[in-house]
Chains A and B, each alone.
Chain A
């Protein structure tokens, strides 16, 4: 008999015997009128599903952070995604001597012929790493004995020249054009002086422009150029009545009237200045580093916890690396590290020396030229500009998700395997690895789905038959398995039904994944630092968001994810920083909108270029600066960038 006829008859016989349960309309009305908040209960007590952290803390360790607000416009200058740590630090010893240190080992590389540099004073290094400006004089006040010296970093043969007298707090603009500092004046008390004006010195023309503190405003000794090389930030002491100090931001180059705008930074935090050449401020409180976006400084984000309160710290240009001073000890810390590493002791001030002329904003990266795509059962390489097929890489039944490492060295994909799965009647899926050069494939693991390969070649996946478990296979073929989320014998064990990896952070330490909870129609999006990507003692989980209809997610950089939310007539893609909550989730700015429901979102290593696949099997690409996405090809249900 004809297959179509047999199929039709079989379906009808199967379905026509099915009748809905009684009273379906009233049941439906009850659900619509009184939405149920599902809770689960288990041996540890009642858990609210909205507090996913409780579930996750059962299996994982350490802090939970949920998404806070990012109300800044979409031009926020963020830390550069992959800036390496500078190799050198300029430091002032507690003897007043200025030295250059190796940032990794603390070894002294050079010493400069200048003494009496004030301990705890500001150091400014030019972006071309040729010169540094330091303050000579003791820590108290800034009278005529205090001077700003220009140090040539390449030569320590002669005493450095004075560039300004009775001055303090030098800062160099990120574009290297200007030096700004505070100039002091006697304030009437014997032997006492204080900063009274900001001097903008043009390093190209040699001209100075002075901005005085109007109305008797009193500067604290702190001045910082902003990332735009126009604004500076500084502190004004409060008057006798209020007593509170305030941070200000002033367009110094543009000649804005003093004192500029007040930055709404929390008064409970000791703010240190800009976080490198970014728009964020760096501060400390209770032994913890925090950052706040200077354009919306009402919320703060936790950066690093310390065992003791640091004296001060400075960030490199990228903002990803800190030089931290604590009681004479100099330590360094980079984003992604659990704790700082001591570099040297007997240090009173420090600043990073740039390795090269670093750019202020994340460099505009070249879009990868190719995409590897799953098109029905075919794996193909497409030209991302034209959408044309460049190469067919194989045909695989049940071809599903494809994932590629950022350098294209590893490509993995899910497909229908050859064997039945262990837990049901379906043919089990498996994950294969593809050698793009030769076209050969090899199985990675069976009974698994949704592979995501890290920049280090570590493949994460979900298990079909053990839904609440994550699996990993490294580049050497060793398999790992995450601790099961719950005990199969306990009622609470069925809380997490499925864990599905989505994407890895550029530094390869964080995995973004989606979890489905039993009885809850809304999946949760979570970022985890998990073993074996990090040591077990460093595992940490962060819930990212739980919007109504989130359908895709990807990392833009180590601290920011892009989330796709279906809004009825299309999908909006937004960026969500991983930050501390203000008690509620707030949507971020929309990056772009895709027609239809997005099923997959993939970013390139720089976070500048994204791929989106919608349920119509249409592949789109979008790059920062584009008003809307560009269609690449039809008939694609999964894709990844291929350099």
Chain B
């Protein structure tokens, strides 16, 4: 079905090629992107929705994209930002007693130490958090992080350095 979809002025061959490449992107990177999104929004359900939306946007912008994976990561990061803001607000309208308890699927039993680290990570400013997640979970280089977040490599260095320092300080205060 997707092969039948064509943008205005686009030949059917281009559409087939786009769909094939998008399918390949999904095959190779979907899981990783979902995990990235979940780390950024701290919520599995929202994380997957973010990635689905990102794929839809990448599909629409395909002709303008040079590096789909980087564009995808950037889109996931942007949408995660928006989703995070909304989630914080949505909680306001759901009385605490009616909120569903986290299911076993959603809550991974973490080592106490790791829970502490993630707690401290959540308290960091957004940019620092994003840089650290991309660096220490996806093992992205500075250049890759810069391209994903559309900031300079210098900014990446600075955010990562400050974020790590702040993290270390918080963890030290807790021990």
Contact = CB atoms under 8 A, between A and B. Distances in A.
Given A11-B136, A24-B30, A616 B152 contact: yes
Interface string A553-576: 000000000000000110000000
Given A13-B114, A597-B150, A498 B52 contact: no
B14 to A, nearest CB: 16
B92 A416 contact: no
Interface of A: 3-4, 6-21, 24-25, 27-29, 31-33, 35, 376-377, 397-398, 416, 421, 423-427, 464-468, 488, 493-494, 497-498, 516, 518, 521, 568-569, 596-597, 614-618, 634-635, 637
A635 B48 CA distance: 32
Contacts of B82: 516, 521
Interface centre among A18, A376, A416, A465 (most CB of B within 10 A): A18
Interface residues of B, number: 65
A426 B137 contact: no
A334 to B, nearest CB: 38
Interface centre among A14, A19, A426, A617 (most CB of B within 10 A): A14
Interface in B89-121: 89-93, 108, 110-111, 113-115, 117-119, 121
B132 interface: yes
Given A7-B132, A616-B152, A468 B164 contact: no
B142 to A, nearest CB: 14
A6 B113 contact: yes
A32 B108 contact: no
Interface of B: 1-2, 5, 23, 26, 30-31, 34-36, 38-39, 44, 47-48, 51-53, 55-56, 59, 61, 64-65, 79, 82, 85-86, 88-93, 108, 110-111, 113-115, 117-119, 121-123, 125, 127, 132-133, 136-137, 149-152, 154-155, 158-159, 162, 164, 167-168, 171
Contacts of A11: 39, 118, 133, 136-137
Contacts of A493: 93
A364 to B, nearest CB: 34
Contact of B123 (A31, A426, A569): A426
A424 B114 contact: no
B48 A24 contact: yes
A635 B155 CA distance: 7
Q: Which 7 A-B pairs have the closest CB atoms?
A: A467-B89, A568-B64, A10-B114, A10-B117, A15-B35, A615-B150, A17-B108
16 contacts: A3-B168, A7-B117, A10-B114, A10-B115, A11-B118, A13-B110, A15-B38, A17-B108, A20-B48, A32-B2, A467-B90, A494-B90, A497-B89, A617-B152, A618-B152, A637-B127
